[in-house]
Amino acid sequence: MFVDTPPYRKSGYSMNERTPSGRNPKKKAKSSRMARERLPDEAEELLPLRAREADRRRKYDDEGYFDDDDYDDFDDEDGYNGRRKRARRRQPEKSRFVPIMIAVFGGVSLLVIILVGVFVKSISNSIREEEKRYSSNYSTNIGANSGSQDNSRTPSLTVSGNQSDSFMLMRPTYNTRLTSRGPAPEDYENTPPPKGVRRIEYNSGSLKLFAWFAFPENPPDGLCPAVIYFHGGFSLAEKDWNDAKPFLDAGYALMCPTFRAENGNPGDFEMFYGEVDDARAAIRWLASQQDIDGNRIATFGHGVGGGISALVAMFDEPNVWITGSSGGIYGTEIFDDWRDICPFDTKSAFERGLRTMTTFPQFMKFPHVAFVGADNQRIMYFYQQLNRKIQVCRPKPPYSGCVIPACDQREALAPSVQQYIRLLSDFGSGRWNPGDGVVYSGG
């Protein structure tokens, strides 16, 4: 028979005092056998008390505390009246896993935040290091940046190695970082090509782009020279073909290509970067066509297309003959004007510098003729800036700058085309006679 812990003594006994029987009343009996030896007569009488104690223990285990009704008076084995000491109230124990889980979750979250911060910082540092590396390897001060406008964002690159190949080394090894992706920022209407004009497709890398192409009605005997006209703005329309039609009437095969992300084409708008690669792909397609003289392919562009034509002169394309532009000479400050549509970081001097001819005129590989309307003050500033640089760096190919008097950007296009056609005729005869506007006739 199980005998519970003997009852506490009456008041007057301390924790360390012994009862007359020699036991500490606050300690349990070591075993039921010892309890029976000490209380042989009262064992039967204590059975109801032990039953009540068992109920109280079960209730304590279930609810976590005793009620006042659970404390009963009883007589101990020595005849003293006493009262069971009130059990200490305690609330049910809360789970230890809750604070542990909170601590673990907080620690993991803090670790993730730290790792993300370290990753972002490493990426930004690598970008800065790459730009610094390019700037240190290929920086040149050609010292022709005078004027009232701020030129602090024009990259200053110094040349190492073969100067004529420096731009070719920089451009292919630097991957532009686009801050936004999507189509070109201009609405378009894909109208069918004009009468007598074919719609063809050409490949630029993995992109399949389209262009308009036509042969002249009275082609010359033998292979036909050609002109690739790069449209203004960010989409091709019928008016662009009409602007370029004088080349066709003068006996040149004419091609007007579209670029990536324009007119529903695949790819992302890059502004003077991937579009230059598309222009070079169009040149190679045209040179591969039957009856086309691959050694006499000229490029010409208006506005944005003029800027692309000027950048083509920086590449060693074997089929390029001569390049020209009307209102297409841009400085890096133009990207401040176009900040809302620029798909790259306009704060990066290198991103801006690789998108304009005025940054690297010393790397020209082919002749270029730049026409500009005298009333277009913004383009005139860039044009004068380029002329000063040309005088200092003296590129090997000839360069000509021609100002069309009393004309703005649009009005200067038609006379620019006519002068360019006359220049092509002289250039084909082995003469370089760009007129009074010549700045540098080659070194």
pLDDT at res. 397: 82
Residue whose C-alpha is closest to residue 214's, from 250, 176, 267, 167? 250
186, 73: one domain: no
57, 172: one domain: no
Q: How many Å apart are CA 289 and CA 344, to the nearest integer?
A: 35
pLDDT at res. 144: 34
Length of the chain equals: 443
Highest averaged pLDDT of the listed ranges 41-50, 59-68, 290-299: 290-299
Please classify residue 145 by burial: count the beta carbons closer than 10 Å to its beta carbon, then call 0-12 exposed, 13-18 middle and 19+ buried. middle
* Residue 111 belongs to a domain: no
Distance set, CA 367 to CA 64, 172, 359 (Å): 96, 22, 16
195, 305: one domain: yes
76, 192: one domain: no
Which band of pLDDT confidence, cut at 50, 70 and 90, is reported for residue 107? confident
- Could you tell me which residues come within 8 angstroms of residue 298 by beta carbon, excluding any fewer than 6 positions away? 225, 226, 227, 228, 252, 320, 321, 322, 323, 324, 424
* Residue 197 belongs to a domain: yes
Q: Where among 72, 93, 114 does a domain terminate?
A: 93
State the chain's maximal CA–CA distance in angstroms. Answer: 141
65, 167: one domain: no
421, 308: one domain: yes
The per-residue pLDDT of the chain, averaged, comes to 76
435, 308: one domain: yes
* Residue 394 belongs to a domain: yes
* Residue 306 belongs to a domain: yes
Q: Where among 64, 93, 122 does a domain terminate?
A: 93
Q: What is the pLDDT of residues 265-284, one digit of tens each?
A: 999 999 999 999 999 999 99
Q: Where among 53, 68, 93 does a domain terminate?
A: 93
Residue of higher predicted confidence among 350 and 16: 350
Please classify residue 331 by burial: count the beta carbons closer than 10 Å to its beta carbon, then call 0-12 exposed, 13-18 middle and 19+ buried. buried
73, 198: one domain: no
* Residue 1 belongs to a domain: yes
* Residue 385 belongs to a domain: yes
* Residue 152 belongs to a domain: no
299, 190: one domain: yes
Q: Which domain holds residue 244?
A: 163-440
How many separate domains does the chain show? 2
- Could you tell me which residues come within 8 angstroms of residue 220 by beta carbon, excluding any fewer than 6 positions away? 251
Q: What is the pLDDT of residues 217-276, one digit of tens each?
A: 988 888 999 999 999 999 999 999 999 999 999 999 999 999 999 999 999 999 999 999
CATH number for the domain that contains residue 435: 3.40.50.1820
The model scores a pTM over 0.85: no
277, 167: one domain: yes
288, 366: one domain: yes
239, 366: one domain: yes
* Residue 36 belongs to a domain: yes
Residue of higher predicted confidence among 187 and 172: 187
Q: What is the pLDDT of residues 51-105, one digit of tens each?
A: 666 666 665 555 554 444 544 444 444 444 444 444 444 445 555 667 788 888 8
Mean pLDDT of 355-380: 90
Q: How many Å apart are CA 353 and CA 262, to the nearest integer?
A: 23
